[in-house]
Structure 1
Amino acid sequence: LYKTFAGIESSEEVSRWITAITEGDNGTLWVGTYGNGIYLMNETTGKTTNLVHNPDQIHSLSNNYISALLKDHQGNIWAGTAWKGVCKFNPHAYRFSHYQHTPHNPGSLSNNIVWSFLELPDGKIWIATDGGINIMNPSTGNFTTITYKQNDEYALSGNNTRSFCIDRKGNIWIGYLFSGLSCYNPSTRKLTHYRNSPGCSNCLSNNTVWDILMDRNGKLWLGTFDGLNIFDPETSTFTKLPEGTSENGLSHSIVFSLLEDKKGNIWIGTNNGLNQYDPLQKKFSHFFSTPGCKNCISNNNVFGIYEDDNGILWIGTMGGGLNRLDPKTGKFTVFNEAGGLANNVVYDIVPDNNGNLWITTNHGVSQYNISSGQFTNFDVSDGLQGYEHNLGAAFKNSKGELFFGGMNGFNILNPEKVPDRKIPAPLWISGFRIFSNTSYREYQNNDTIILNYRDNFFTFLFSSIDFNDAAKMQYEYRLENIDKRWRRTDAQSAMAEYTNIAPGNYVFRLRSISPYQGIKQQEIKINVIITPPWYATWTFRITATLAGLILLTLILIGRIRRLRKKHAMAQQLLDLEKRLFDTERKALRLQMNPHFIFNTLNAIQFFIFQNDKLSANRYISMFSKLMRQILINSQYNTIMLKDEIDALELYIELELLRFGDKFEFRIIVRPDERILEKYIPSMILQPYIENAIRHGLIYREEKGLLKIEISEKEVGKVMCVIEDNGVGREKAEEIRKRTKPEHVSMGTKITESRLKLMSNLYKSEMTVTVNDLKDENGNASGTRIELIIPTFEK
């Protein structure tokens, strides 16, 4: 069956010398000629198209003399030319329409820095730039401008335009950088200007208007660099909403973006958090980024805000990626570079007619498919005006076309014409490196690499045979039993490095991720076996274990014999140490008890001489309780901390009776009273409390304070702090030398001796630290004693 193509028209004589033929997609036949370029012949329609070199188009053929044609696995057509190299045609490529300023062309865009778009009812597009307003005629692609002229009612207030809004009467509101607000009347073509006036409460609060919103009631909301303003067109007055962190205030004065949701709430993106304003209740709700909070907004610098058909809010942030907010739950979900987003600086979000989101970033534009959760990224290689975009410069017109502006003009995109690029690119491991030695060879799926245990520093090198978007490819890899999760890298770092891997069997898995739709494509699996050294083999281990067991048995037999001899001596020595300890403890208690009893009887005698029978009787009653408590406690090496504190309270009460409320005391237990159930050596604290009272507090002129604080220092230890605000140790010693030079206090020394003996016996350190307290003038203001005491089993 033969088919004849006719009707090929050319201004030149058609060359009869056909040099190459190949079949493209959809039955298109590519015919290369020597002198007339390439002819595309559609077998279905019979239509013929001639591709030739055009010096005014950088993407045309480099030469009309074709020597070879080839179609690769991705559908690309490669054309070899005479003297001008190789040309590649990508049938799946889509290039954005790019509009920018062209010198010597008055009909082009007047300024390349684009900030906002607005479509009028007649279909014309207004474009805010740093060179005034450009008005685009979509049918011709030409631009007219409105610019600033001094004292001209038909001119702008300034050329640095930033935002647009059209009201119910068809008036166009224009926000500026540093030049306030203007209202353009399309009928008269005149502009009314509004500026900040110092001291005017009903005027615009700031001359930088970043965003303008008309609500359902016809009022204008103005986001400025000094607060949020509400403008009433009927009264021509401005009202600035208050600021602050409470429900009555805006969280920050710099406002970037505004949105009215389906319920009539106003959402405000600021330099410090996302705000929701209820116009009926006149209250704000704030959303802030909180470290460690997974359901919070990811960054406090909030840029663009969009509400989809389901009432879900999509929020762009400066460095925190894209955020999804469900207003019903108040929870945020974050999408960032790790999940496929082009860049974490997100300016604006606009939808297309298919429900996809288009997101402008600092590194191109991302398309997000809400259903699949996948991103498709576009950059300058796709025809974008640049990597960086501007806040507010994203827009969808009535035809469903998308506009994206930045620092080098703007692009227009028809989402319906973006081809579906899902052709997989072959993935291969191109090399394997051990330390610095690289073996460049292709490894097939399920290949096995066997390494010596010394070769445990290795690297896999890989790439994807993608002739269109190799630089955009990403990869995920994982070494089983080493990596707990997949690790991601890009085409610039297409390698997987592993260091100090132990001998064993591993599986290296690698998969590529398409830059379009984020599709995870084919996967390669490589088995890695690292052999152990001879001394780590099972044969050597079993032999060595048996030999070790025999040797250990012989050692144990000899050890047991020696231990039996030592055991009898050790048991005798242990009994002696315990008896010695008990004897010393009882001796110490006998030294302490007479001292305390002597002081107590003196106090009782004093009350009797004073004929204070009530105090004497109360003193004797409390004294008997204390003595009974001491006798009970003396039966045990350790007592419950609660019992120790009970005895201390009785002792301190006795001293208070004796000294006539010369001081007051407090006992503090932290963190709770469960610590009181622990066991400590008995009567450890009383001598220190006695010293605090007898040598510190009683010499104080004003009423003193004795504070005892019990807390858990660490597991198995408690800290007891005894602090008084008496005269201090130095002054107390001076008083003692004057009044009782022959008296020597032994209570604390005996207690310290007990602590040392118990530390040696129980192998647990007990420490005592004494600190002299000073006031702000350096004078003595009391004493603080810190005891760290181990706790014991009952």
Structure 2
Amino acid sequence: MTPQTTVMLLHREGMRIVCDKKLDLATVSRSSGAVEVIYEDAERNLWIGTMKGVFCYVSTQDKLTCVSENIGDVSDFTQSLDGYVWCTVRNRGICRISPKGKWRLFPCKMDFLTLDVTTDGVLWASTGEGRILAFPSAEPTRYKDYTAQAGLNGDMVDHVKVDRFNHIWMVTPRTVREFNPRNGAVRVFAAQSAQIVLHRFLPRAVFRDDGDGNMYFGGIPGFISLKTSQRLESIPQSVTPHITDVKVLNRSIWLDANHRKTAQGIYITPHEQNLQIEFSSLDFRNAGSICYAYRLEGVDKDWVYLPAGKNTAIYNRLGKGHYTFEVKATDENGLWGSQVARFEIYRLPAWWETWWAYTIYLLMVAAVVGWIAWFYKQRLVERNRAQLANDIIQTRLPVSGMGVSEVDSQFVDRAMAIVEQNMGSGYLDVTFLSAELGMSHSTFSRKLKAVMGQTPLEFIRSIKMRHAATVLRQKTSTIQDAMMAVGYNDHKTFTQAFKDTFGKTPSEYQREWRDK
């Protein structure tokens, strides 16, 4: 394969490289794009992926065809047992190509790198973000993320390959991982380890021998062969993880005799932050190949999987309360054990987090809320009083502007004051008012008629109705409150008197006022 638009079939003769066949994509497409990947399917057809499209060379017919020249940047191919060819298109999705050459793109905006498929039809893809995703071939738009379960933790996955046992082999620059998705078992081969003499692994330098099932991985300065097996399918050995140390700021508090602790737990103070928990299965001979997973209830939503050989969990600034730390481990074959070690952590509260501190906070808040409510109520009362006083003043007719004498004006003011002071009483009538003014009933009636042009009953009723209107304008007042304020017991009589004065019923007046 050349860097541009030509694919060559080469073989070696001694020290010479001989070209047997040359395919030029320019003969079938004017804008094919540079060649990125090639793949030979079960029918010995050669699939060619470019930065723009997909091409196929049918060797039995010696024919090169363009499947699509604008599908996108094709990064890898694979073929499922039903004969369909699948390819990943970077940042666009997964494409399915039928044996007749018809294709369909299933959208998925991810930076796909490599692709392979298991015999049960599950598509396994790696991405540029270091993720391992499984897509069911029946519905390739949904997927399950196995990144954390495989212990990758964001490592760049250069290649993914499926072996004869449907185990997933993942290649990173520093490791090769064998992963069994059925039970989560992981086996790790690290570069520069005692078993692996390579300095690093190369991307796409992966080959599966369908004859013996062995896997081959290229690197610097050579390649290695790893035998596939069912070791990851076996029953896991009994593995019991243990908490070996607890540190704060890199200082052990688990081994401190003066530190408060229990048989399976420890107490930490508010200032003891940067908690570091160390654990081990005590299998020191295989420590480099054992993986751990942990979680802290209330903090971690799911298990946190550590790379092989790592055995430390770190937490910063835990809030007060009771936490349960759990840890599990694999055996030397990468099989997860069933035993989970649990460790209790009691983070003591600071003085401002204690119950009595919260009680003080609650009392302070209640006091502030109470004072605000009292202050608001006082303001409301004062405002209502001022409004009421103003309305009462407005009800006083401008006697001085009616051309009456000062004596008559004082007479009217005194009469109005008596009505206002006794408005809610049941004995306020013409007889009571004339007696309070020191006049006979007839003399009072004649004088009031001469000065105000009203009968005593009209005079009393006008003052009462204006006061009732003032009460109705208050937000919390009811019609019953207005009746009681002006000394009425009969609702019908009060309504008629109010309507005669204002031309509307009390309820209509109150509704119009509140809608303003």
How does the TM-score come out when normalised to structure 1?
Answer: 0.40
What SS is found at the alignment partner of 2:224? strand
Choose from 102, 105, 109 the match for 1:286.
105
Cα 1:431–1:331 change in 2 (3 A) is same
Choose from 364, 378, 383 the match for 1:570.
383
Cα 1:230–1:432 change in 2 (3 A) is closer
Deviation of 1:510 (Å): 3.5
Deviation of 1:430 (Å): 1.7
Structure 1: distance between partners of 2:18 and 2:361: 99
One-letter amino acid of the structure 2 residue matched with residue 312 of structure 1: V
Deviation of 1:395 (Å): 0.8
Give 5+ residue unaligned stretches, structure 1.
1-174, 245-249, 291-298, 581-636, 638-791
- 1:338 corresponds to 2:148: yes
Deviation of 1:489 (Å): 4.9
Structure 1: distance between partners of 2:343 and 2:237: 25
1:251 corresponds to: 72
Cα 1:526–1:303 change in 2 (3 A) is closer
What SS is found at the alignment partner of 2:72? coil
1:688 corresponds to: none
One-letter amino acid of the structure 1 residue matched with residue 167 of structure 2: N
Structure 2: distance between partners of 1:401 and 1:564: 86
One-letter amino acid of the structure 2 residue matched with residue 507 of structure 1: Y
Check conservation: 2:78, 2:116, Cα contact below 8 A. Answer: yes
2:178 corresponds to: 367
| Residues 222-259 of structure 1 deviation map (CA, whole Å, 9 limit, x = unaligned) | 33456432224455442223323xxxxx233xx44323
One-letter amino acid of the structure 2 residue matched with residue 196 of structure 1: D
Deviation of 1:511 (Å): 1.0
Structure 1: distance between partners of 2:378 and 2:18: 115
Q: Say which structure is richer in strand.
A: 1
Deviation of 1:432 (Å): 2.9
Choose from 225, 228, 245 the match for 2:54.
228
| Residues 732-765 of structure 1 deviation map (CA, whole Å, 9 limit, x = unaligned) | xxxxxxxxxxxxxxxxxxxxxxxxxxxxxxxxxx
Which is bigger in relative contact order (C-alpha 8 A, separation at least 6)? 2
2:95 corresponds to: 275
| Residues 372-405 of structure 1 deviation map (CA, whole Å, 9 limit, x = unaligned) | 2433322223426454233152213312222222
- 1:393 corresponds to 2:206: yes
Check conservation: 2:107, 2:141, Cα contact below 8 A. Answer: no
- 1:312 corresponds to 2:312: no
2:482 corresponds to: none
1:447 corresponds to: 264
One-letter amino acid of the structure 2 residue matched with residue 349 of structure 1: K
2:314 corresponds to: 496
2:218 corresponds to: 405
Deviation of 1:326 (Å): 1.4
- 1:322 corresponds to 2:132: yes
| Residues 332-352 of structure 1 deviation map (CA, whole Å, 9 limit, x = unaligned) | 324344222444514131223
1:241 corresponds to: 67
Choose from 307, 330, 340 the match for 1:514.
330
One-letter amino acid of the structure 2 residue matched with residue 498 of structure 1: N
- 1:431 corresponds to 2:246: yes
Deviation of 1:538 (Å): 5.8
What SS is found at the alignment partner of 2:24? coil
Structure 1: distance between partners of 2:377 and 2:58: 102
One-letter amino acid of the structure 2 residue matched with residue 240 of structure 1: C
Structure 2: distance between partners of 1:366 and 1:546: 56
Percent identical residues: 16
Structure 2: distance between partners of 1:227 and 1:537: 66
Structure 2: distance between partners of 1:567 and 1:205: 81
Structure 2: distance between partners of 1:577 and 1:300: 77
Cα 1:512–1:390 change in 2 (3 A) is same
Cα 1:204–1:193 change in 2 (3 A) is farther
Cα 1:203–1:393 change in 2 (3 A) is farther
Cα 1:466–1:396 change in 2 (3 A) is same
One-letter amino acid of the structure 2 residue matched with residue 391 of structure 1: R
One-letter amino acid of the structure 2 residue matched with residue 356 of structure 1: H
What SS is found at the alignment partner of 2:160? strand
Within 5 A, what are the aligned runs for 1:550-699? 569-574=382-387
- 1:180 corresponds to 2:7: yes
Check conservation: 1:431, 1:438, Cα contact below 8 A. Answer: yes
1:14 corresponds to: none
Within 5 A, what are the aligned runs for 1:732-747? none
- 1:463 corresponds to 2:274: no
| Residues 196-240 of structure 1 deviation map (CA, whole Å, 9 limit, x = unaligned) | 38x644899678573132464x64333345643222445544222
| Residues 318-368 of structure 1 deviation map (CA, whole Å, 9 limit, x = unaligned) | 33422222122334324344222444514131223x443333333422222
Structure 2: distance between partners of 1:312 and 1:449: 46
1:266 corresponds to: 85
Check conservation: 2:278, 2:313, Cα contact below 8 A. Answer: yes
One-letter amino acid of the structure 2 residue matched with residue 573 of structure 1: A
Structure 2: distance between partners of 1:219 and 1:547: 81
One-letter amino acid of the structure 2 residue matched with residue 470 of structure 1: A
One-letter amino acid of the structure 1 residue matched with residue 95 of structure 2: N
One-letter amino acid of the structure 2 residue matched with residue 309 of structure 1: T
What SS is found at the alignment partner of 1:462? strand
Cα 1:288–1:461 change in 2 (3 A) is same
Structure 2: distance between partners of 1:466 and 1:209: 45
Check conservation: 1:430, 1:441, Cα contact below 8 A. Answer: yes
One-letter amino acid of the structure 2 residue matched with residue 414 of structure 1: K
Structure 2: distance between partners of 1:482 and 1:793: 53
Give 5+ residue unaligned stretches, structure 2.
394-472, 474-513
CA RMSD after TM alignment: 4.8
